[in-house]
Structure 1
């Protein structure tokens, strides 16, 4: 899994990239938790998502937002981080110009950034949103949400109340032609400590179904 350095809006961005051996392989971009609270691309939840895609033949990229690890720049309240994610997606698409589909996945702060990118990039076919911080950040931009996806939340999340995520899910589920698969992980806190395996099984189950449908990304 090679280290990669990409050009970002605020300087170099550090990433880890796994290139699929399959022709026209689909691609996935994975986004990490809040940079000011210890979030990095090596977060266990982010790696769980990364591994779920790579073992299904995706070319997958995870990277550090500006100011994290070897990525240059400083924290920019989400605005700069969204630009970082867009640049990372550009890089991923440059190396995979014939990708059969494109997915986004994010954890906590990364879920918020990922959903914003979903609104701006119509080539994104699906999303995985883990513990989206619906109580801390505004998700009202998802009107309408452009793609179906998976939302996962721990029922013992001490940072994001379950009620705020449920309201988000209900709002998205009411939109036409959008299906939100909402899964709760029993006993899981915000970081899924001791529950990473449960999260992995949920992600695996969702992708197995989503990618097997004719309209699903990898089926093409």
Structure 2
């Protein structure tokens, strides 16, 4: 799990990078929750997703947004963080010029950033959006959503009520040619306290299903 430092728009960004053994392995990038609410790249859900992709042969990057940990800069309400994510993906692609595909996963605030990145980068072929904050941020930019992916959230989420996520998913499902898989974790709150295992089982099952179709 080598520590990496690469240049972002507001200075250096700190990350952890797991290189795949295969040269043309796909890339995955994992985005952490809100920097002002203790979100870092070492968050348990981010960490678990990182290894879920690594165990499936991806080259994986997770990093701290500006102003978090050893990353330079300061919180920028999403605009700068989206630029950070774009720079991080650029860095990963520079290291992996032969990568055949790219995935983005994010939790909460990170899910919002990840979905925006999806719209800007046509090479992103899959996404995992964990507890996307559909009531707190505008997701109307997803028109149309360019890639198939998984949206997973907690049944008892008090931060982002399930009805708001359902509305987002219903809107995305009207688009042709892409498949949005929605999964609800029974009894889970926004942070999946005590429900990390069923969350990760859902994510890994989805990944295995998608990857089986590729090979």
TM-score range, shorter chain: over 0.9
Partner of 1:176: 176
Please state how far the C-alpha of 1:141 moved relative to its aligned partner. Answer: 0.3
Q: Which runs of 4+ in 1 moved over 6 A?
A: none
* CA RMSD, Structure 1 to Structure 2 (Å): 0.6
Residue 100 of structure 1: how far off its partner (Å): 1.4
Instruction: Provide TM-score, normalisation by structure 1.
Output: 0.97
Equivalent residue, structure 2, for 1:190: 190
Alpha-carbon shift at residue 97 of structure 1 (Å)? 0.4
Say if 1:131 and 1:151, in contact at 8 Å, map to a contact too. Answer: yes
The equivalences for 1:1-220 within 5 A come to 1-214=1-214, 219=215
Q: CA deviation at 1:41?
A: 0.3
Kept in 2, the 8 Å contact 1:48–1:196? The answer is no
Query: Aligned pairs, how many?
Result: 215
- Contact map agreement 1:108 1:130 (CA 8 A) in 2: yes
Shift of 1:65: 0.2
CA drift of 1:23 comes to 2.5
Task: List gaps (5 residues or longer) in structure 2.
Answer: none
SS in 1 for 2:114: helix
Query: 2: distance between equivalents of 1:150 and 1:209?
Result: 11
Aligned to 1:211, the other structure's residue is in SS state helix
1:158 deviates by 1.5
* SS at 2:212 equivalent: coil
**Which runs of no fewer than 5 residues in structure 1 stay unpaired?**
none
Q: Could you tell me how far apart the structure 1 residues matched to 2:154 and 2:190 are?
A: 6
Give how far 1:178 is off: 1.4
Q: Any conservation in 1 of the 2:23–2:96 contact (CA below 8 Å)?
A: no
| Corresponding residue SS for 1:39 | coil
